[in-house]
Amino acid sequence: MSTLDSPERGKAVLAGPAPRILVLSAPYYRDVVDGMLRGARDVFADVSATVDVTEVAGGYELPAALAMALKLPGRWDGFLLLGCVVKGETDHYTFICDAICHGVMDLSTRSAAAIGFGLLTVDTLDQAIARSRDDRMNKGAEAAHALIAQIGIARGWGLAG
């Protein structure tokens, strides 16, 4: 395996009842984000998850939508955020990516919620497409695996159902 390959992941496993997942999707690059969502759904199927999907206008809106969802305690066991920001010719990319990442991390640490973060921050659309294909490089599947692991930790510590 080269350093550019993603690790081979097996089937997702989670003890306890099937989880309830909210996916917050920013489909500005619809084909890319839909590809990531397909990868995530495959992982969620492994644990028989119930999945709700809500679309937001863009990546910048992901933290605010997550904050709203967190005001509904007990409705979901975990949250998956999916989006894509492609670098342009201005500093806008840097400001948007920083705001999204800091907003999500702040909510994550303050709420102790199980969150999978699938935001692609890429230089080109071709890079995003390569990370949203139906193969082991799919970053939606990778973020879904991370989310299932976080739900497992929360359950193991008695923090979630």
The whole-angstrom separation of Cα 25 and Cα 32 is 11
Nearest Cα to Cα of residue 120 among 42, 36, 8, 41: 36
Is 131 assigned to a binding site? yes
The whole-angstrom separation of Cα 40 and Cα 153 is 19
Is 38 assigned to a binding site? no
Q: Which of 9, 30, 92, 102 is catalytic?
A: 92
Is 29 assigned to a binding site? no
β-pair type (78-86, 50-55) = unpaired
Is 89 assigned to a binding site? yes
Is 84 assigned to a binding site? yes
**Is 145 in the active site?**
no
Is 28 assigned to a binding site? yes
Is 93 assigned to a binding site? no
Give the containing element (helix H, strand E) for 102: helix 92-111
Give the containing element (helix H, strand E) for 52: strand 50-55
* Residue stretches of the annotated binding site: 28, 59-61, 84-86, 89-90, 117, 131
Residues making up the annotated binding site for 5-amino-6-(D-ribitylamino)uracil are: 28, 59-61, 84-86, 117
Annotated binding site for (2S)-2-hydroxy-3-oxobutyl phosphate: 89-90, 131
Kindly list the catalytic residues: 92
